[in-house]
Chain A
Amino acid sequence: MKKSRLNVLVIEDNELNRYLLTFLLEHRGHRVRSATDGPAGIALAKALLPDLVLLDIQLPTMHGYDVAATLREVESVGNIPIIAVTSHAMAGDRENALAAGCSGYIEKPIDPDTFVDEVESVCWQSPDMESS
């Protein structure tokens, strides 16, 4: 069954982008919490057990791929869909993100008209969401 109101955790270091993602998601009625780096994001994910994690890849202190891999190893949050939101866009980035355990990949700059639709479709396609 689809859950129409998602609890989203945004892990993004850039303040403006964090605000942008939060605004877009909240405008569609989702609840958003955010963290500014990897370790804080992992701690928050364990505490909140969100429905979805939006993860920036170029983060200070801890790389986004490592954050994704770490989240996958924790039993309580291991099945939460993770969407990489990255401006990296180099050869093999998508493959690397998926290999690190991300369920989806959205390239920056995001298109505000379609961004939330993309996020929702990744989230609702994920097998974990079917049962919740």
Chain B
Amino acid sequence: MVHDAPAMATSAALPPVRRSWRPWLIRGVSLVVVLGTWEILGRRLDPVFLASPSAIVAAAYGLVVRSREFQNAIIESMTSMVTGYGLASGVGIMVGFSMGRWRTVELALDPYVTALYATPRVALIPLLILWFGIAFELRVAVVFLSSVFPIIINTIAGVKHVDEDLLETARAFAATQAQTLRTVILPSSLPFIFAGLRVGLAAGIIGVIVAEMTAAVSGLGALIMKFGNLFQTAQLFVPIVAIALISVLMTWAIKLLEQVLTPWHRPE
């Protein structure tokens, strides 16, 4: 990040990130040991009880390449996830900002946010089925409700956490309300907003899978239920691994976005 650093800045500069092969070696060895043990155990046990990694890979190959059903399931889960989470991010940040900034808005909305945040959102699924049916709209609604509250609550915390001295600085330079919002409050709360986005993402993924398992018509959650009911253990693992991969990819994407948008803020 820092180029041609002159000598006098180094004492106060953040330490450089050390790139080394050692962590990768440890991770690699760990993976080989765990997957190896799993493979050996899996081959000795009843395949209904536990499928071996090689059996799962074979099942995955069959499903991913040949099964329309699996491809559709991934697309359906992903589209509802992205739609619901996208909506939740937009609404959550805006509502959180307003609640953090204006006391009246906070007092008016706080009871609902607190009550709904405390309620496990999956408990609302039967009601949501009555309202939205069992297809796309239901999944979007569940993802939205799962993600939006952590985003709201973290955004509020971020907006309230703004350093009073920096607000005073903006005031001393005669910044307008809008300028203060853009140059102080927004950048200051970004790290909090991203914390909310990460928690909201995890909650949203749980939401979409539970919705699909409950309504059990389509998506990766429905596939999990189907393979479970059919005792096809190797196949059962495929949607689970797919969910884990999607989850990891989306978390990385958020992390990347955070690094781009908050270059001054380096956690750890």
A-B interaction = no
Q: List residues of B whose CB falls within 8 A of some A CB.
A: none
Q: Residues of A at under 8 Å CB distance from B?
A: none
